[in-house]
Amino acid sequence: MSTTTSQLTIIRPDDWHLHLRDGEQLKAVLPHTARQFARAIVMPNLRPPIVTTNMARAYQARIVSALPDDLRAKFQPLMTLYLTDNTAPAEITRAKSSGIVHAIKLYPAGATTNSDAGVTDIAKCYATLAEMEKHDVPLLVHGEVTDLDIDVFDREKVFIDRVLFPLMQRFPNLRIVFEHITTRDAVEFIKQSSAKIGATITAHHLLLNRNALFQGGIRPHHYCLPVLKREIHRRALLEAATSGNGKFFLGTDSAPHALVHKEQACGCAGIFTAHAAMECYATAFEKANALDKLEGFASFFGADFYRLPHNSDKITLQKKSWTIPERYPFSEEALIPLYANEELHWKMI
Ligand code: DOR
Ligand code: ZN
Mutate which of 41, 115, 116, 253 for ligand 1 pocket (most atoms within 8 A of beta carbon): 253
Write down the domain spans for the chain: 2-348
| Per-residue pLDDT tens over the stretch 188-204 | 999 999 999 999 999 99
| Per-residue pLDDT tens over the stretch 281-329 | 999 999 999 999 999 999 999 999 999 999 999 999 999 999 999 999 9
3-state secondary structure 17-86: EECCCCHHHHHHHHHHHHHHCCEEEECCCCCCCCCCHHHHHHHHHHHHHHCCHHHCCCCEEEEEEECCCC
- Which of ligand 1's atoms lies nearest the C-alpha of 114? 10
R_g over Cα of the chain: 19
- Which of ligand 1's atoms lies nearest the C-alpha of 268? 11
Check 253, 292, 304, 313 and give the catalytic one.
253
Q: Is 253 a catalytic residue?
A: yes
Q: In what order do the strands lie in the sheet with 7-11?
A: 2-3, 7-11, 314-323, 343-348
Q: What is the mean pLDDT of residues 165-174?
A: 97
User: What pLDDT was estimated at residue 22?
Assistant: 98
CA distances from 137 to 140, 169, 210, 302 (A): 10, 17, 34, 15
User: What pLDDT was estimated at residue 81?
Assistant: 98
Mutate which of 20, 106, 112 for ligand 1 pocket (most atoms within 8 A of beta carbon): 112
Q: Residues with beta carbon inside 6 Å of ligand 1?
A: 19, 45, 112-113, 142, 224-225, 255, 269-270
Is residue 206's pLDDT more than 70?
yes
- The pLDDT-based confidence of 185 (bands split at 50, 70, 90) is very high
Cα 164 to ligand 2 centroid, rounded to whole Å: 18
pTM for this structure? 0.97
Name the average pLDDT for the chain: 96
Q: Judge whether 193 and 146 are in contact, CB under 8 Å.
A: no
Cα 291 to ligand 2 centroid, rounded to whole Å: 25
Cα 2 to ligand 2 centroid, rounded to whole Å: 31
CA distances from 115 to 25, 177, 250, 288 (A): 19, 18, 23, 35
User: What pLDDT was estimated at residue 107?
Assistant: 96
Mutate which of 225, 262, 273, 336 for ligand 1 pocket (most atoms within 8 A of beta carbon): 225
- The pLDDT-based confidence of 114 (bands split at 50, 70, 90) is confident
Q: What is the mean pLDDT of residues 329-343?
A: 97
Cα 43 to ligand 2 centroid, rounded to whole Å: 7
Q: What is the mean pLDDT of residues 124-129?
A: 97
Residues contacting residue 115 through CB under 8 Å, at least 6 positions apart: 45, 107, 108, 109, 142
Cα 43 to ligand 1 centroid, rounded to whole Å: 9
- The pLDDT-based confidence of 115 (bands split at 50, 70, 90) is confident
User: What pLDDT was estimated at residue 346?
Assistant: 98
Cα 3 to ligand 2 centroid, rounded to whole Å: 31
What residues flank ion ligand 2 with Cβ within 5 A? 253
- The pLDDT-based confidence of 4 (bands split at 50, 70, 90) is low
Which DSSP state fits 216? Answer: S
- The pLDDT-based confidence of 338 (bands split at 50, 70, 90) is very high
- Give CATH superfamily name and number for 2-348: Metal-dependent hydrolases (3.20.20.140)
User: What pLDDT was estimated at residue 209?
Assistant: 98
| Per-residue pLDDT tens over the stretch 72-108 | 999 999 999 999 999 999 999 999 999 999 999 999 9
Ligand nearest to the CA of 156: 1
| Per-residue pLDDT tens over the stretch 22-75 | 999 999 999 999 999 999 999 999 999 999 999 999 999 999 999 999 999 999
Provide, rounded to the nearest whole percent, the portion of the chain with pLDDT above 90: 96
For the ranges 85-89, 106-110, 162-166, 265-269, which has the lowest average pLDDT? Answer: 106-110
Ligand nearest to the CA of 226: 1
- Which of ligand 1's atoms lies nearest the C-alpha of 111? 6
